[in-house]
Amino acid sequence: MTAMLIRKTQEASQKWQRFFNAGDAAGCASLYEEEAVMEAKPFGTFRGRAEIEVFWAQLMADGFTGVAYIEPTILAEDSVCAVLSSGWRMNKARGVITKELWVQQPDGSVLLREDAFEALP
């Protein structure tokens, strides 16, 4: 069960990265739960899928692209929750993901409930 959750989390994370690199903010937002919370330092905290989509759309409009995760780790917290942490880089920024909390949904998919990351100077 744990191995399957980790695999699903890895696949969902890679799907999120593909959406981002394709400039698809709605696709990125679709991988968050409706009431998800994203803490994006130093930009602010965004609550709910709609606010999160606006954030990603603006970042993409500002020309940010080419996100890649650097040495991601995924740990299962229990049978339905996994936490991803990683370094990241893109064309205009770099930083660290301190916590992506992915939660398995009733349909078996996994979605982000919490997303905490920081852009570094």
Domain residue spans of the chain: 2-119
The model carries a pTM of 0.96
pLDDT surpasses 80 at 119: yes
Q: Could you tell me which CATH number the domain at 2-119 has?
A: 3.10.450.50
pLDDT surpasses 80 at 56: yes
Burial class (CB in 10 A: 0-12, 13-18, 19+), 35: exposed
Question: Could you report the per-residue pLDDT of 5-37, keeping only the tens digit for each?
Answer: 999 999 999 999 999 999 999 999 999 999 999
Phi and psi angles of residue 31, each rounded to the nearest 5 degrees, phi first:
-95, 10
pLDDT surpasses 80 at 1: no
End-to-end CA distance of the chain: 39
Q: Is the dihedral of CA 62, 68, 72, 78 positive or negative?
A: positive
DSSP label at 12? H
Q: How many CA atoms lie within 13 A of 105 on its CB side?
A: 11
- Mean pLDDT for 36-46 is 97
